[in-house]
Amino acid sequence: MMKHYYNIHTVWLLMLLLTLTTYSIGEVGYGGIGVVLLLLITAAIKGGLIIRDFMDLKGVSFLWRAIMYGWLWIVCLGISIAYFMSL
Amino acid sequence: MINTPTENEANLLPGDLAIWFFIFMELLVFGIFFIAYAVMRLQNVEMFNQFQLTLNKEIGATNTLLLITSSYFVVRAVHAIRQGEVNRCIHWIYAALLGGLGFLVLKSVEYYDKFAEGITLSTNTFYMFYLSLTMFHFLHVILGMIILFAVALKAKRGAYSDQNYTGVETGASYWHMVDLVWIILFPLVYIIR
């Protein structure tokens, strides 16, 4: 059932929705580590969707996927640590 | 180069392998830039929070929507050429280029406002990062558009088909990288505080 709704069109719509969520959180002006993590996880999910579905890397060798997802998670983790240290 | 999706190719990267090494290098540079921003902010938290509020979040969010949609159009172009529909592929690429152009126009408006206020790279550390990071990305959008336009021209000359679409995938992969970088850049510079 889930597979039926998971396609390139719904991935695109989901990313638009996540972008509007990010913007809304910014508009409200919430801060704190919970919000920072929420925003970074949202960005990581969007990045993951681009890598998996837009770049079409879901079936490629583990090495290539590890480089791409590794970059995404290391960057998000690095930013999270820096923001956590600033609180 | 002839493309025929076979089981042997199933685990290969889409497009030309060379573009992927270029993409990995670009991501490394942007990644270092992002971490540097977060680390520099540690020493100037109040200043970064204060000047972040001067940025136009509406333009930032609209540009994110534009880039994501443009990337989606490029996916549609790749799907079209894999089915041998050259004209449809070209139309999707043109639609993607319009999205890229919209991004450049809005970003230029944003820069115009900032420059009109007398803001430069040397105004403070926040603006130094904001301007250099976004301008570096801006240049990548322009390069991505040039690549996509070249792909569209080649497609128009009949260079691609359902048997030969490496060039389309190569251009598409670069464009998605431009989108991927902005996906991190937007919340980092405009939203997270």
pTM: 0.94
Q: Count Cα atoms within 13 angstroms, Cβ side, for B43.
A: 7
Judged against a pLDDT cut of 50, whether residue A58 lies above it is answered with yes
Average pLDDT over residues A45-57: 97
Instruction: Tell me which of A59 and A16 has the higher pLDDT.
Output: A16
CA dist B142 and B148 (Å) reads: 10
Judge: B72–A60 Cβ closer than 8 Å, yes or no. no
- Asked if residue B71 belongs to a domain, the reply is yes
Compute CA B121 distance to the chain's CA centroid, rounded to the nearest angstrom.
Answer: 22
Put simply, whether B6 touches A (Cβ < 8 Å) is no
pLDDT at B11: 76
Distance from CA of B113 to the nearest CA of A (A): 20
Which residues neighbour B121 within 8 Å (Cβ) at sequence distance 6 or greater? Answer: B127, B128, B131, B132
- Give residues 129 to 158 of B whose Cβ lies within 8 Å of A: none
As a whole number, the mean pLDDT across chain A is 93
Q: Supply B8's token pair.
A: 């042997």
Q: Is residue B95 part of a domain?
A: yes
Count of domains forming chain B: 1
Q: Which of residues 10-29 of A touch B (CB under 8 A)?
A: 12, 15-16, 19-20, 22-23, 25-27, 29
pLDDT tens profile B143-171: 999 999 999 999 999 999 999 999 999 99
Inter-chain contact B41–A74, Cβ cutoff 8 Å?
Answer: no
Confidence grade of residue A33 (pLDDT, cut at 50, 70, 90): confident
Q: Do A19 and B68 touch (CB under 8 A)?
A: yes
Could you tell me how many CB contacts below 8 A there are between chain A and chain B? 125
Residue A29 has pLDDT above 90, yes or no: no
Instruction: Give the whole-angstrom CA distance, residue A57 versus residue A41.
Output: 20
User: Which candidate, B26, B28, B54, B8, places its Cα nearest to that of B174?
Assistant: B26
pLDDT for residue A86: 85
For residues A37 and A1, which has the higher predicted lDDT (pLDDT)? A37
Kindly state whether residue B19 falls inside one of the protein's structural domains.
Answer: yes
**What's the CATH number where B60 sits?**
1.20.120.80
Closest CA of chain B from A5, distance in Å: 17
Of the pLDDT bands very low, low, confident and very high (cuts 50, 70, 90), residue A12 is very high
pLDDT computed for residue B1 by the predictor = 43
**Spatial contact of B81 and B89, defined as CB atoms under 8 Å apart:** yes
Q: For residue B134, give its domain range.
A: 13-191
pLDDT at A5: 87
Answer yes or no: is B160 within a domain: yes
- Tell me what pLDDT residue A31 has: 75
- Distance (Å) from the alpha carbon of A79 to chain B's nearest alpha carbon: 6
Low-confidence ranges of chain B (pLDDT < 50): 1-8
CB contact A38 to B (< 8 Å): no
Q: How confident is the model at residue A30 (pLDDT cuts 50, 70, 90)?
A: confident
